[in-house]
């Protein structure tokens, strides 16, 4: 048996956690019977490998099994990972094997909770009530970005229209506390931002892609928003001062007597209405009148629904 092939299978299992015998046979260009012999040899050497029967069967590893991560510091791992990713488009197979090794030498225990963690920065992809709520989607997108594989996803836009998309993912984006993925949409033949919360299903395809020239920073300027902008002014109490300053910036807030006033140009729509309502009785809309009426109307709907 070739130890390099067996090690490659182990890395594949560490990355995907569950694979079929057919998948391994196709990836390593072996017969399914040979794959079975390799799996038996690994199990016999003490690796906690399990065989699963049925249509969704295959092989899986114990959740707490990882490769020792003492060889590199986190900074060294990040640098190596970036360098290998840059050469992945060559498609020679060696880069993909290196990516598998680097991802699994880094280990999984800390990654299960935090998207990014080092000595000075922690990014948690979950919420206080439900840690890792979007982590499964982020994991899938990360895997597609690293391997230059297209994503098949079902997406529901803000008009509640359901579409199936084929997306070449380039970036994961966090803006205003909301997660997006940015990449080339095959249906629209253009670059698009997709909100992760609106993705209903997602999986990595076997279709490879070559990166096009893209400018995600231009897309994030806000010009992609097709809702009309409105100049809004509202009064609020000191209890929500920190939240308002975090949302609009310190420069948007001024003191007026015992109250504070915020003025900003924002995009209209359900997102703005939800944001204003989230402050409850701590704010009062001063202008424009139609935004104030929308807030009042929604409050009346809430009361009627509560009393029904």
Judge whether 80 lies within some domain: no
Helix, strand, coil % over all residues of the chain, rounded to 5: 40, 30, 30
Q: Is residue 286 predicted with pLDDT exceeding 90?
A: yes
Q: Is residue 231 predicted with pLDDT exceeding 90?
A: yes
Same domain, 238 and 291: yes
Same domain, 264 and 192: no
Between 249 and 86, the higher pLDDT residue: 249
Same domain, 127 and 166: yes
Judge whether 282 lies within some domain: yes
Same domain, 204 and 186: yes
Helices (H), 57-134: 74-86, 94-105
Q: Is residue 108 predicted with pLDDT exceeding 50?
A: no
- Residue 255's φ and ψ, nearest 5 degrees, are -90, 140
Q: What is the pLDDT of residue 200?
A: 86
Q: What is the pLDDT of residue 69?
A: 47
Same domain, 188 and 235: no
Judge whether 78 lies within some domain: no
Cα gap 299→271, rounded to integer Å: 15
Judge whether 66 lies within some domain: no
Judge whether 251 lies within some domain: yes
Judge whether 277 lies within some domain: yes
Of 21, 45, 61, at which residue does a domain stop? 61
Residue count of the chain: 308
Q: What's the Cα-to-Cα distance from 295 to each of 145, 148, 231, 252, 280, rounded to whole Å?
A: 41, 45, 16, 21, 10
Range of the domain at 51: 3-61
Cα gap 308→296, rounded to integer Å: 18
Q: What is the pLDDT of residue 63?
A: 63
Residues 182, 165: contact at Cβ < 8 Å? no
Q: What is the CATH number of the domain that holds 24?
A: 1.10.10.10
Q: What is the mean pLDDT of the chain?
A: 79
Between 5 and 262, the higher pLDDT residue: 262
Judge whether 88 lies within some domain: no
Q: What is the pLDDT of residue 117?
A: 60
Same domain, 181 and 250: no
Same domain, 193 and 284: no
Least confident of 47-61, 183-197, 228-242: 47-61
Judge whether 85 lies within some domain: no
Same domain, 20 and 56: yes
Same domain, 154 and 214: yes
- Reported as a single tens digit per residue, the pLDDT across 143-156 is 888 888 999 999 98
Same domain, 205 and 256: no
Q: What is the pLDDT of residue 71?
A: 47
Alpha-carbon Rg for the chain in angstroms: 25
pLDDT band with cut points at 50, 70 and 90 for residue 96? low
| Number of domain units in the chain | 3
At 277, which helix (H) or strand (E)?
Answer: helix 270-277
Residues 150, 210: contact at Cβ < 8 Å? no
pLDDT band with cut points at 50, 70 and 90 for residue 44? confident
């Amino acid at each position: 048996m070739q130890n390099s092939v067996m090690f490659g299978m182990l890395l594949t299992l560490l990355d995907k956690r569950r694979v079929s015998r057919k998948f391994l046979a196709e990836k390593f260009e072996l017969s399914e019977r040979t794959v079975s012999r390799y799996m038996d040899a690994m199990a016999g050497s003490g690796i906690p490998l399990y065989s699963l029967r049925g249509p969704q069967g295959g092989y899986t590893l114990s959740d707490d099994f990882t490769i020792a991560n003492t060889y590199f510091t986190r900074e060294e791992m990040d640098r190596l990972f970036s360098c290998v990713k840059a050469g992945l488009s060559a498609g020679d197979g060696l880069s993909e094997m290196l990516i598998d090794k680097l991802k699994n030498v880094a280990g999984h225990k800390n990654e299960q909770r935090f998207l990014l963690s080092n000595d000075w920065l922690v990014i948690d992809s979950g919420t206080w009530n439900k840690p890792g709520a979007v982590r499964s989607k982020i994991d899938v997108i990360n895997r597609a970005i690293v391997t230059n594989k297209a994503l098949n996803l079902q997406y529901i836009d803000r008009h509640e229209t359901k579409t199936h998309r084929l997306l070449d993912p380039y970036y994961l984006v966090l803006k205003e506390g909301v997660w997006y993925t940015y990449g080339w949409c095959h249906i629209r033949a253009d670059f698009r931002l997709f909100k992760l919360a609106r993705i209903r299903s997602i999986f990595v395809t076997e279709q490879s892609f070559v990166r096009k020239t893209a400018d995600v920073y231009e897309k994030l300027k806000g010009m992609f928003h097709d809702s009309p902008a409105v100049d809004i002014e509202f009064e609020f109490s000191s209890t929500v001062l920190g939240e308002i300053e975090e949302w609009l910036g310190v420069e948007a807030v001024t003191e007026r007597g015992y109250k504070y006033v915020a003025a900003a140009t924002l995009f209209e729509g359900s997102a703005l209405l939800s944001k204003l309502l989230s402050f409850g009785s701590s704010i009062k809309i001063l202008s424009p009148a139609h935004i104030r009426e929308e807030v009042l109307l929604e409050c009346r709907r809430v009361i009627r629904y509560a009393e029904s």
